[in-house]
Structure 1
């Protein structure tokens, strides 16, 4: 049984319906105040027929091992992850093109939570995590993502390099983010099936993963620091992809020219 805490994570777990909730515990002190945010959660519990219990705030702190639970804790079924095939077989979103996010060793739960929140907000069709060298989808991740982790479709894979090769054989462009890459992220045409690959905090992409990418994109930096935090960098690129995929978005002539000159390395190979 997993534990989720905080108003947003518990509410989104109830809304998503992806996991069965055993019960929700509410701090007696908070329950007595009856604020609107708590009322929404209690109403959802009634709709979903989820049992609600009241406990002292100190007991909730013992359950969660933190005092940041905001007086609400949900006890939920352990999350079951998807396979890569589940992501590939699902229909594309409104743009008609699939957009995936693959994480190569993001181990900080706050970065992972922030990336999942951006992935949900930008319409990513699925997130790919590795079994090893990846932060688990924990209560901290759920809290940082404001509950978005309960909505994002997540697949776990053993070997990221082999996974990227499978994507390429499925006609998905694999693009990594690297400070020494080219072209700039805004010059790439995201109006096609794409998987964006982000590397670990500090270390970036592993060499073999980097070699597997069809393109390495960069975010131009105007200041003294050479790169952004991985969750910020990921958000920048994901929202550029969302902007391009909106109906009526302007063409990307630079990306079209660069793609025409570059062989479709890896696609179908």
Structure 2
């Protein structure tokens, strides 16, 4: 995985980097005079990795985090979380019948992207695919919202989303799109692997060509006065319904497995 230099802030996000991607950390800034809470232990862990650490005033951290909730720590990284298309295709073929990815068709808000990554990681998804243009990227705000998930689940930025969906179909991946107009709901469908779950961006939903490339479209039933959910909330609902169904099949001895990466303590 590679990517551009990034800033990651917040105790949990930085701690996850220390644990999962220590080689990506180039330098760290810590609030001057911090002697209590989580920062001393985090400073000790950074020192053990021989990461250059500078103690700075709060104003500098405020400025470098863009006013985000930095909790007294910010690190610069060599780029985390992104996977090239060739690696992604290799992963899909390697995972084969157990492959599961999330495709975001034009999510614009970096915080929504981060929240989607967090849900994808929690649900054991293998990768998250997004268009390279007109979509959010892994900004500091996205990384903060991901709460460390960007170091665990790869983001794949593609120049041709339609081409990627066609390739996935060619290798046998079932393409399922979330569409509010679909008559069939997520509770009326039996999910199976390999699977690519496709969700549209804020407001407009899935683009026409993306819809045409889906093998099936499903909706989340809405019982209240609101017509739709925030995209990151919808992703969480969809992914955990997929996980619930597939975990149920796995527990009953059926051939379908639960989504890709297994996390400790997962239960049905």
User: Partner residue of 1:34?
Assistant: 36
- In 1, the alpha carbon distance for the partners of 2:44 and 2:52 equals 11
Secondary structure at 2:89 match in 1: helix
Matched residue SS, 1:26: strand
Decide which of 24, 28, 38 is 2:28's aligned counterpart.
24
**1:8 and 2:9 are equivalent in the alignment:** no
Quote how far apart the aligned CAs of 1:48 are. Answer: 2.5
- Aligned pairs (5 A) from 1:26-105: 26-29=30-33, 31=34, 33-35=35-37, 37-66=38-67, 68-79=69-80, 81-90=82-91, 91-92=94-95, 97-105=98-106
Shift of 1:19: 5.4
- Counterpart contact for 1:18–1:150, Cα < 8 Å: no
Give the distance between the partners of 1:116 and 1:80, measured in 2 at CA: 10
2:264 paired with 1:248: no
Aligned partner of 1:181 in structure 2 is 182
Q: Which runs of 5+ in 1 are unaligned?
A: 252-269
Distance 1:198 1:249 in 2: 29
Q: How does 1:119-268 map to 2 (within 5 A)?
A: 119-246=120-247, 247-248=250-251
Q: 1:81 to 1:149 in 2, by over 3 A?
A: closer
- SS state of the match for residue 129, structure 1? strand
Gaps of 5+ in 2: 255-268
Q: Whole-Å Cα distance in 1 between the matches of residues 61 and 157 of structure 2?
A: 30
Work out the number of aligned pairs and report it.
Answer: 246
Q: In 2 relative to 1, CA 78–192 (structure 1 residues): closer, same or farther, beyond 3 Å?
A: closer
Change (3 A) 1:142 1:200: same
Question: By how many angstroms is 1:218 displaced?
Answer: 0.7
TM-score by length of 2: 0.85
Q: Cα distance 1:219–1:16, how it changes in 2: closer, same or farther (>3 A)?
A: same
Residue pair 1:101, 1:126 contacting (<8 A) in 2 also: yes
Tell me whether 52-61 or 10-19 shows the greater mean CA deviation. Answer: 10-19
Q: 1:92/1:180 Cα in 2 relative to 1: closer, same or farther (>3 Å)?
A: same
Secondary structure in 1 aligned to 2:180? coil
Instruction: Deviation per CA, 1:34-85: give whole Å up to 9, x if none.
Output: 31x2244224313422222211111222222215211101011134732233
| Higher Rg | 1
Are 1:15 and 1:44, in contact at CA under 8 Å, matched by a contact in 2? no
Q: Structure 2: how far apart are the matches of 1:104 and 1:23?
A: 34
Give, in whole Å, the separation in 1 of the partners of 2:137 and 2:198: 18
CA RMSD of aligned residues (A): 2.0
Write the distance in 2 (CA, Å) between the matches of 1:169 and 1:250. Answer: 28
Partner of 1:259: none
User: In structure 2, how many angstroms separate the alpha carbons of the residues matched to 1:3 and 1:89?
Assistant: 29
Q: How many Å apart are 1:182 and its aligned residue?
A: 3.7
